[in-house]
């Protein structure tokens, strides 16, 4: 897909994500809206994956370390053909396999269970190192939140990736500047992120993570070192009253708010 097609699809995914969160009465809509452009570019342009063979050994690996934004991943997987699109209506319902955090034992296309923050990047380093040991050609991608980068386990993984020279690993930090309950700047402010990653001998690219023309080339980049993309995004992107508001980390829109958001996202299609 070209960037125009990807942008249209990302808007469709945002719309379905909004509906699913509203109907289920739960979710993490702010961070879902910020990461959807990245997920769309990965699954419809960058990743070598086969929905009818989700465990194909040659597939690229993708880990959503910020697992609380699972609904955005489920909608993307459904659009890509991993699960039925009608199954999205079961999100968070009793006995549904679409839980609040991704489960690799239940959902095709999910590589590893995530939710406890600080786990996805270490697991991804293991996946990338396994490819080096076995001679496999797959690439590993992982998306973390910026608040999640406060976890020490991530920095141990970053050191290991540099030591092992994992040029087959791409880390995307969804830098939307907010975490649960507060702005990043008011908790443990890691910004600017770029010099910190560069100090660990990573290659770093900074982009507008909600602009597809910047997202795609950054994800497709290949170098000689582990690659980190610092994706500057907006919490609640695409919905005016949610954007850059900390209370929309896991707030659910009222009926009136839902109608406003629905109209804004539909107008953009």
User: pLDDT tens digits for 117-160?
Assistant: 999 999 999 999 999 999 999 999 999 999 999 999 999 999 99
Q: What is the mean pLDDT of residues 220-237?
A: 98
Distance CA 208, CA 46 (A): 17
Distance CA 52, CA 187 (A): 43
User: pLDDT tens digits for 64-100?
Assistant: 999 999 999 999 999 999 999 999 999 999 999 999 9
Q: What percent of the chain has pLDDT over 70?
A: 100
Q: How many residues does the chain have?
A: 269
Statement: residue 268 has pLDDT above 80: no
pLDDT at 269: 78
Q: What is the CATH number of the domain that holds 119?
A: 3.40.50.970
Confidence of residue 8 (pLDDT cuts 50, 70, 90): very high
Q: How do 61-64 and 178-179 pair as beta strands? A: unpaired
Q: What is the mean pLDDT of residues 43-63?
A: 98
Q: What is the DSSP string of 32-51?
A: HHHHHHHHHHIIIII----T
pLDDT at 256: 98
Q: What is the mean pLDDT of residues 158-173?
A: 98
Distance CA 217, CA 214 (A): 6
Would you give the DSSP letter of residue 143?
E
Structure tokens at 150: 């406060």
Q: What is the DSSP string of 149-209?
A: GGSHHHHHHHHHHHHTT-TTEEEEEEE-SEETTEEGGGT----S-HHHHHHTT-EEEEEET
Question: Which residue range is the domain that position 53 belongs to?
Answer: 3-267
Q: What is the mean pLDDT of the chain?
A: 97
pLDDT at 94: 96
Q: What is the mean pLDDT of residues 220-236?
A: 98
pLDDT at 152: 98
């Amino acid at each position: 897909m070209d960037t125009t097609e990807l942008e249209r699809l990302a808007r469709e995914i945002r719309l379905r994500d909004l509906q699913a969160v509203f109907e289920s009465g739960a979710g993490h809509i702010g961070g879902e809206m910020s990461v959807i452009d990245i997920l769309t570019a990965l699954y419809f342009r960058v990743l070598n994956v086969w929905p009818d063979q989700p465990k194909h050994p040659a597939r690229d690996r993708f880990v959503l370390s910020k697992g609380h934004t699972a609904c955005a991943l489920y909608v993307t997987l459904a659009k890509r053909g991993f699960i039925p699109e009608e199954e999205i209506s079961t999100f968070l319902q009793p006995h549904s396999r679409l839980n609040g955090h991704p489960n690799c034992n239940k959902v095709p296309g999910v590589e590893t269970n995530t939710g406890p923050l600080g786990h996805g990047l270490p697991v991804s380093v293991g996946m990338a190192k396994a490819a080096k040991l076995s001679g496999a050609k797959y690439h590993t991608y992982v998306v973390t939140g910026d608040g999640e980068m406060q976890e020490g386990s991530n920095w141990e993984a970053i050191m290991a990736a540099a030591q092992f020279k994992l040029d087959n690993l791409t880390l995307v930090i969804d830098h939307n500047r907010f975490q649960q309950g507060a702005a990043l700047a008011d908790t443990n402010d890691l910004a600017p992120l770029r010099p910190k990653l560069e100090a660990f001998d990573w290659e770093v690219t900074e982009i507008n993570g909600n602009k597809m023309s910047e997202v795609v080339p950054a994800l497709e980049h290949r170098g000689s070192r582990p690659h980190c993309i610092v994706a500057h995004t907006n919490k609640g992107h695409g919905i005016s009253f949610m954007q850059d508001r900390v209370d929309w980390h896991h707030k659910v829109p009222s009926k009136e708010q839902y109608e406003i958001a629905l109209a804004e996202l539909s107008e953009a299609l």
